[in-house]
Amino acid sequence: MIVDKLDVVALGKGSKHAGWLTVASRPDGGDWRLPFLCVRGRQDGPTLVVVAGVHGDEYEGVEAIPHVFGQLEANDLKGDLLMVPICNMPAYEAILRSSPIDGLNLARVFPGIPDGSITHRIAASVRENLIRQADFFIDLHSGGITYNIPTLVGYAHDEGDLGQRSLQAAKVFGAHILWGHPLPLPKGRTISTAVGLGIPCIYTEAPGGGVARPEDVACFGNGILNVMKWMDMLAGDPEPSSIDYHFVGKGNLDQVVSAPLAGYFRPKVHLLEGVTKGQLIGVIQDFFGDTIHKTYADADGHIIMLRRLHRVQVGDGLVHIATPI
Ligand SMILES: [Zn+2]
């Protein structure tokens, strides 16, 4: 099945559907398409939308989504589950975080432009065909090749109904670290678009590194099923889970401690380590091994993101510190 518009209601009830959503034409006469997987329950119920591969070098969700699709029986489901394992197909093809075609980061251009460059077109299509249909929205990310991030679930942090539903889903998802981001969320994201449409939402992170660790694939897959149980789309209760850390903060990974000069970065801290403002967290060395820059913590808290790749260019993010509540 190949479609230009994805309308879940137009797909047959009580069955599973796999197909391609066309988002833009290619210069070779073909099309850029996103793979979709949809399980339509026989009974009416809410719609859960799950996407992955917004960054082309993050693989946990790419693996978890087809696994969940394979596990589910349409007859066991109330409502609809709509999933796209790879949103940024050009970046996935090139094994890059951002698009090799227009250089844009898909997670910064939402809501997109329907007649813009390829990344804008994908964003506009994801917004209209996927996010807009959701009663709840999940975006599966990880640190990709460049960054190391603990396995966590992030959510829209707010006292209102949308924030409270996002928090509840984050708790039942099953990751042991929660990270709430007060509204308004930074612009350009899938989840800022969801919030703008009034849709509660969560996203995930994991260590990444160019691999999908089995424990993260299992966490993400079970997390989707747990949220479906919480939404009464599946029978049973979400698996009980404990929370090791609960952070609240902006979580804008564009605003991190970054490299003021190019060189070879060597961290002096490890992921989740507690640090205090002013503490040495890493050094940048030159080709002779001499330290040319020292990087210090800009806040008290725990290391939530640490650059994995040693080679750094000016402006590259090195570390981000989150504050527990
Ligand atoms: Zn990502």
Contact predicate 227/48, CB 8 Å? yes
Contact predicate 35/85, CB 8 Å? yes
Q: What is the mean pLDDT of the chain?
A: 96
Q: Tell me the per-residue pLDDT of 49-83, one tens digit each, with 9 for 90 and over.
A: 999 999 999 999 999 999 999 999 999 999 999 99
Fold of the domain spanning 2-248: Aminopeptidase (3.40.630)
187 C-alpha to center of ligand 1: Å?
A: 15
User: Which parts of 117-189 are beta strand (E)?
Assistant: 136-140, 147-148, 152-157, 177-182
203 C-alpha to center of ligand 1: Å?
A: 9
Contact predicate 75/42, CB 8 Å? yes
| pLDDT for the residue 250 | 81
| pLDDT for the residue 325 | 84
Q: Is 102 left (phi over 0), alpha (psi -120 to 50) or beta?
A: alpha
State the pLDDT confidence band at 256, using cuts at 50, 70 and 90.
Answer: confident
What is the pLDDT averaged over residues 11-22? 96
Locate 317 and state its tokens: 């993010």
Q: Tell me the per-residue pLDDT of 192-213, one tens digit each, with 9 for 90 and over.
A: 999 999 999 999 999 999 999 9
109 C-alpha to center of ligand 1: Å?
A: 13
143 C-alpha to center of ligand 1: Å?
A: 6
Q: Residue 319's closest CA among 256, 274, 255, 269? A: 256
Domain boundaries, the chain: 2-248, 257-322
State the pLDDT confidence band at 324, using cuts at 50, 70 and 90.
Answer: confident
- Fold agreement (2-248, 257-322): no
Fold of the domain spanning 257-322: OB fold (Dihydrolipoamide Acetyltransferase, E2P) (2.40.50)
pLDDT over threshold 80, residue 317:
yes
55 C-alpha to center of ligand 1: Å?
A: 5
98 C-alpha to center of ligand 1: Å?
A: 10
Contact predicate 304/179, CB 8 Å? yes
State the pLDDT confidence band at 254, using cuts at 50, 70 and 90.
Answer: low
Sign of CA dihedral 218, 211, 168, 245: positive
CA distances for 298 relative to 141, 239, 245, 324, angstroms: 25, 37, 20, 15
Q: Tell me the per-residue pLDDT of 231-251, one tens digit each, with 9 for 90 and over.
A: 999 999 999 999 999 999 887
Contact predicate 224/203, CB 8 Å? no
* DSSP 8-state symbol, 324: B
Spatial separation of the C-alpha atoms in residues 1 and 10, rounded to whole Å? 13
State the pLDDT confidence band at 255, using cuts at 50, 70 and 90.
Answer: low
What is the pLDDT averaged over residues 273-290? 97
Beta partners for residue 205, in sequence order: 152
Number of other CB atoms surrounding residue 277 within 10 Å: 11
- Range of weakest confidence among 254-263, 282-291, 305-314: 254-263
Spatial separation of the C-alpha atoms in residues 297 and 40, rounded to whole Å? 48
Model pTM greater than 0.85?
A: yes
Nearest 5°: the CA angle 14, 12, 18 is 90
